[in-house]
Every structure is written in C-alpha cells, then in structure tokens.
Chain A
Amino acid sequence: MDLNFTTEDQTFREEVRSFLRDHLPSGVRHKVLNGTHLDRDDYLAWQRALHARGWGGPSWPAEFGGTGWTPVQQYIFDEACAEAGAPRLVPFGLKMVAPVIMAFGNKAQQDRFLPPILAGTEWWCQGYSEPGAGSDLASLKTRAVRDGDHYVVNGQKTWTTLGQYADWIFCLVRTDPDAKPQRGISFLLIDMKSPGITVRPIITMDGLHEVNEVWLEDVRVPAENLIGEENKGWTYAKFLLGHERTNIAGIGIAKRELARLKRIATSETRHGQPLLQDPLFSAEIARVEIDLMALEITNLRVLSAEAENRAPGPEASILKIKGSEIQQRLLELMTEAIGPQALPFDRDAMAAGYQGDYPLAAYARTPTWQYLNLRKLTIYGGSNEIQRNIISQMILGL
C-alpha cells in the first residue's frame, strides 16, 4: 500500500500549479476565494484560458481535443484548480453532454458540437427534470413527435441551471408514450433560440437567478439532433449520470473552503481568543477536517479502481453523499464563526469590488448566501436519499 502520488503525478501537479500562478486572473481568483457570485464571463474566460493552454477538456480523450489525462491526473488538476481559486468548469457541456456525444453521437454531431464546448464559445444546459419528474426522472412527460425530418417538442423542463445563458439544451423527451417509462425516452439536442422556447427565471431563497423553467411549445428540432437511436435515451442518460465521478466529491473545493474557514476562525474571537483556539469551535473544525481526510482517501480508492479499469460502481454515491454533506457543514461553520454578522443580507455588499458603507468584515459578507445556496447540494444530481437508496440496493443488495 502506498498513499503517495507517483513522482510523475507530483511533477504534473507542479506544472498545473505553475500554470495557475501565471494564468488565473487575480480578479476571478479573489471572487472564488471569497465566495463571491460568478457571472457568465468569469466562467467562459477561464474555459478559454484553459483551452489556449490545450487543457480545455481535462476529462476528454485526446482524439476529441482533450488532454487524455488519467483519472488521477484529472483529480490532481481539479484539486489544484479549486485550491488556487479557479472557477469550477461549467459541467453541462464539458462533463455532461460531451461524453454522451463522444460515446453515442455520430461524426457530424461530434464535429459540430464538441469544438465550441472546448473553446468556451457555446453554453449548454441540462434539460432532464420536470415539475412531475424529479427523483423519478423516468416519469418525464415532455413529448417529441416525429414530423418528417423534424421532431415537434412540447412540454416543460424545470430547475434548468443557468439556462438563461445557454445556447443549447440537451433534453430527455418522450418519444414512445406506450412503452415502459424507461423505454420510450430519447435524447435530443435543442437550440435555445428555437421558436417556441420560453425561459422563465426561478428565484431561489438566496435571491439569485440561477435556475429556470424552460417551456417548449411546438418547438421544431431537426431529427439530425437526435443522439443515437430513438427510445434509447435512458441508456445514454444513465451513462451520463454515471460518468462524472472523479470530481463528484469536490475534495479540492472542500479543502479550499476549509482553509477559508480557518482564516475566518483566526480573525473572529470568543473570550478574547481566536476561534481557531476556542475549545468548542476548534473541535468542530477538527471534526470536519478529519471527515474530509477520510473522504479524500475514499475518493482516491475509487479513482485507482477506475484507473485499473475495474467498472466504477455505485460507490460514487458515497462520494456524493459525504462530499455534499462536508461542503454544507463547512459553510454552516463559517456562518457560525462570523456570529451575528451572518444576519445582514445585502446582495450589493456581496458583489466583488463593493465600496459602499457596509459595516461588516469582508469575509463575513458571503458565507450566509452560500450557506443558503448550497442546500441544493443534497437535493440535485440525485438527492442524498436517492443516493442512499442506491447504496442499499446496489451495494448492500437489499
């Protein structure tokens, strides 16, 4: 047993770190490290910077213009980026639809759709969930009816993250209403500029517009935008859900947030003593740090199984559950650390470069909105209850 990265991996990490030192703009870095909300350009500019270095597709095979990195290298890259304060890569194109297009799309689709994702020139969103189809995704109702060389799509998608920025949406649609639910679903790529698409904002409790309703009314979609075969969409969707695993635990993000928590706990005091030395509070930090330590090793175990081509199994659920709970706990502890300063909630003061008359320490302005925002982590992408069901059924055999 050896828990260390190989020398090559360590050299690789240094290479990534040095790139980050030279190319991560300080403005966006500052935003990420302080929990400030990022806008569309922050994400796209970073994708373009990576693309310029040849790293636009860290999880992609070389034949599609990706880096061809091993899962361990991808992990190292993700972790180094997160720790340095790089924006997360927008997953919908890069990590969700792209692998499906690579595995099941035809050559024309690959040529058309993959390069703009890599270059950061087209934004994708995910059209899976519907008002009636959340955890029970297979019950989705959005209908697509073949009409000559088009599909005519009617229905409603919801919770569409950053759909307001999107050029394209990948949708699960029902093409055979008579088959068993999983059998009648197809996977369609839809241009967001198509007539008949309406995007309506959903405001979340943090006051942000991050998710949307997407209404589809007689939207005509060229049949050439169907991925793979009609009525096989569920297979592709499941492939997608099982694909993105190296970063699902968010170890790098959690380490970064742990460091931020410690910085706050150095500035805030109780009985004249920094919270980092307060017996109660430091015990809480220690507990989450230890939890994270265990998860990191669990994550590496999953990665090396994947590197040896052992089929990645339902243990991704362990990573999702623990990773989301740890991130939520870190933000909870930050709000604890700032005490009553967690109560003021002024969106203007949370923006980067705020110069106004807001009487709180800079580090105290963002934890509360993030704490509210991150409630989503245990709900989306298969809720933690659904993940526990998966563990019970697939691992425990119950």
Chain B
Amino acid sequence: MDFTFTEEQNMLVDTAERFVSKEYGFETRNRIIGSEAGMSKAVWQGLADLGLLALLVPEEEGGLNAGPVETMLVMSALGKGLLVEPYLSSAVMSTRAIAALAGAEQRAEWLEQMLAGTLIVAFAHDEHGARHDPLAVETRAVRIGDGYLLDGRKSVIRHASQAGMLLISARVDDGIALFAVDRDTPGVRLATYPSVDGARAADVFLEQVYLPESRRLGQGDSSDTLLAVLDTGLAALCGEALGVLQRSLDTTIEYARTRKQFGVQIGKFQALQHRMADMLIHVEQARSMTYLAAVRVLDNDAARRAAALSAAKVVVGEACRFVGQQAVQIHGGMGVTDELDISHCFKRLFAIEKTFGSALDHLDRYRRTLAA
C-alpha cells in the first residue's frame, strides 16, 4: 500500500496549481464566463505550452502518456480554479478515445493539433432521456456507399460550440461506433446555451450528416472502449470535484474566521464548527473514493470497474451537495451573491453532481451489482 505521489506527480501538481493561481484568478474567470466565447484561447494555449494537453497522449506521438493518477491530480488543480475550458472533454476523454481507437492517419492528423492547442474536440455521447445508461445510444449511423449517414441528437454536450470537432457515438450494424465530425459539417446543428456553472454547452442535432469511412474511429463494436473512456471521464471528474470541494471548504473556514457576529468570529459557534467538521469528513471520504476511482479505472473487468466508479460517484456526489450547500449557508447572505466565489463553487459542485449520472443514478447502478 502506498498513498504517496512520485516526484514527477508532485511537479505536475505544482505546474498546474501555479498556472491556475497565476492565470486564472476569480476576476479573470468572471471575464471569461461572461465573454461571448465562454472560454479563453490564451488559457488554452497556456495549458498547451505547459504540456498539460499532452497528458494522455502516447509517448510516440509526443505526449506524456500519463495515467489516471496524473489525470486526477491535474483535474483537481484545475478544479481549484473552477476552470471552464474544455480540459475534461478534449484533453482527457477525446484524447483517450482517439489514443485507443484511431488509426495511424487519424492520429497523425488530430493528436498533434490537439496537444498543440489548435484543435478542441468535444466528446459528444450523452443523449436525451438516457439518464446515463452508458450504452443507451439512439443516434444511428447507416452505411451508404463508402461512408455513413448520421441521424440523432446529442444532449447537453459541454463545449460543443467551442470545439472544432465532435466525437459522436452512434449505433451501427455491429454495435456502437465513434465518429469524428467537424462542427461545420452540413447537417450538424447546435443549440447552444450557458451551463449553470458558466461553461457553454449545446444540444447537437444531426440530420443526414454524411461522413466518409475515414471519419470512423476503429472497426467493429467499440462499446468496450466507449465504456472505458466514460469511466476515464468519471474518474477525472471526481478529481476535479476534489479541487472544488477543497476550495469550498478552505474558503468557508477562512470566512468563519473573519466574519463576526455577536462580537465573535462565527467560527466560534459550535454549531458551525461541527458543520465544518462534517464538511471535512465529506471531503476526505470523497478523496479516498477518488483515489479508488483512479486506481480501478484501469481494471479491464468492466463490471468491477463500473461498480467501483459508481461507488466513487455516490460518495463524491453527496460530498458535492453537502459541502456546496453548507458552504453557502455558513456564508449567510454573502453566500448567495454572484459577487463571491463561493456561489460559483456551489454551482460547479452542483453541475459535477449532475454530470455522468447523479449520486442517485450511481447508487442505482451500484445497487444492481449486489444481486449479480
């Protein structure tokens, strides 16, 4: 057993944390989420320059070939900054999918641009009504001639409008396949909206979208890879949650130390002390399960892997809810204002809890493994 991180891992954390604290202050972030684009090209380029976009790219292709522990650590550092740029979607999930499935020419075309920061790829898998049943894909790809016609709808896809390319899952004759679709392909329509946490998302409507064979990733049924990519995303999301949770707790403790009522710091009231102690317990339990997720996400037994990740999402999701709500509560009226960062933490925690299945969805998924 070993819960320590390597020298390299600590350096990675350092790099990411330093970048966030220097380049991603609260004011800067407010400007970014209020801008038309909803993200910062400069920040994205900064992440590329630091090599962070190359984290999951194989070494042969100029990447760091890092694993889930590094991903968790970087995500946690970015979470502390409430980063709204498409790191999870592009640099983690899409990169992982391309690295696992794409052929030589495709990789050469995409990975280089992705790690240079010039191509953002949104992972467009979720569908309306699927409730995170991971294989409930109704988007269809029908073979015609030497290509495919795609029809369907992808729902609440983070960063779709900011991406040059979308990785779209679709049902084919022999299972589920992933397709790389340029955003401006005829037949692709986006209904874009802000997400509650300030990022941008969209529903993607696909109508008779023609794609040549060269746009399909891999052959045969890619369901297994798809599940592995989704689990990679979930484990990384838990890492991000940790960063936001820690920031929420730290900010709240600091507020309780400074805000005075009845002549004393409100942190002197035992009711609030116990509440903050419970927040800490939630954070630490979430940390433990995030570590578990980072380790188990490499398990090739999909059922065992899914159970561990669902267990992690239950604990992390409940932590998101409790810590977010109590952080706001302890800030009193200040907690509900847009002006303080704590409400932004609250909204990101809310969004994380709802992403890739809520705690209750995963409790359901876990519960079903008991009798199996």
Contact = CB atoms under 8 A, between A and B. Distances in A.
Given A205-B347, A280-B367, A270 B131 contact: yes
Q: Is the interface of A mostly helix, strand, loop or mixed?
A: mixed
Contact of A343 (B196, B261, B329): B196
Interface in A267-284: 268-271, 278, 280-281, 284
Interface stretch (B65-73, B174-182, B226-234, B356-364): B356-364
B225 interface: no
A134 interface: yes
B336 A379 contact: yes
Nearest to B266: A135
Nearest to A389: B271
A270 B357 CA distance: 11
Nearest to B269: A385
A11 B45 CA distance: 71
B346 A158 contact: no
A343 B201 contact: yes
Given A134-B333, A344-B195, A385 B271 contact: yes
Contacts of A268: 131
Interface string A365-389: 0001001100110111001110011
Contacts of B346: 205, 372, 375
Contact of B133 (A158, A271, A346, A388): A271
Count chain A CB atoms within 10 A of each CB in B191, B194, B333, B351 and give the residue with the most.
B333
Interface stretch (A79-87, A228-236, A332-340): A332-340
Interface in B2-47: none
Interface residues of B, number: 50
A132 B360 CA distance: 40
A203 B338 contact: yes
A269 B131 contact: yes
Given A335-B354, A359-B155, A383-B332, A270 B191 contact: no
Nearest to A378: B329
Interface string B195-211: 11100010101000000
Interface in A202-228: 202-205, 207, 211
A238 B245 CA distance: 38
Given A136-B262, A346-B193, A205 B343 contact: yes
A286 B195 CA distance: 30
Interface string A127-140: 00100101110010
A371 B336 CA distance: 11
Contact of B131 (A339, A346, A385): A339
Contacts of A211: 333
A46 B354 CA distance: 37
A376 B155 contact: no
B338 A207 contact: yes
A77 interface: no
B332 A379 contact: yes
Contacts of B195: 343-345
B339 interface: yes
B324 to A, nearest CB: 9
Given A134-B332, A345-B196, A205 B337 contact: yes
A341 interface: yes
Count chain B CB atoms within 10 A of each CB in A159, A349, A375 and give the residue with the most.
A375
A281 B361 CA distance: 9
Nearest to A372: B347
Given A203-B337, A205-B338, A375-B325, A135 B332 contact: yes
B223 interface: no
Nearest to A360: B203
Nearest to A205: B343
Count chain A CB atoms within 10 A of each CB in B336, B337, B360 and give the residue with the most.
B336
- Contact size class for A? 35 or more
A280 B333 contact: no
B337 A202 contact: yes
Contacts of B142: none
B145 interface: no
Nearest to A349: B193
A341 B354 CA distance: 9
A342 interface: yes
B193 A281 contact: no
B78 to A, nearest CB: 19
Count chain A CB atoms within 10 A of each CB in B193, B195, B272, B361 and give the residue with the most.
B193
Nearest to A328: B325
B355 interface: yes
A149 interface: no
A359 B203 contact: yes
A129 B360 contact: no
A308 interface: no
Nearest to B153: A359
A270 B364 contact: yes
A375 B336 contact: yes
9 contacts: A135-B262, A280-B360, A344-B195, A345-B193, A368-B196, A379-B332, A379-B333, A385-B272, A385-B329
Interface of B: 126, 128-129, 131-133, 153, 155-156, 191, 193-197, 201, 203, 205, 260-263, 269, 271-272, 321, 325, 328-329, 332-333, 335-339, 343-344, 346-347, 350-351, 354-355, 358, 360-361, 363-364, 367
Q: Which 8 pairs show the lowest CB-CB distances between chains A and B?
A: A205-B343, A345-B196, A359-B203, A136-B261, A346-B193, A203-B338, A340-B156, A136-B262
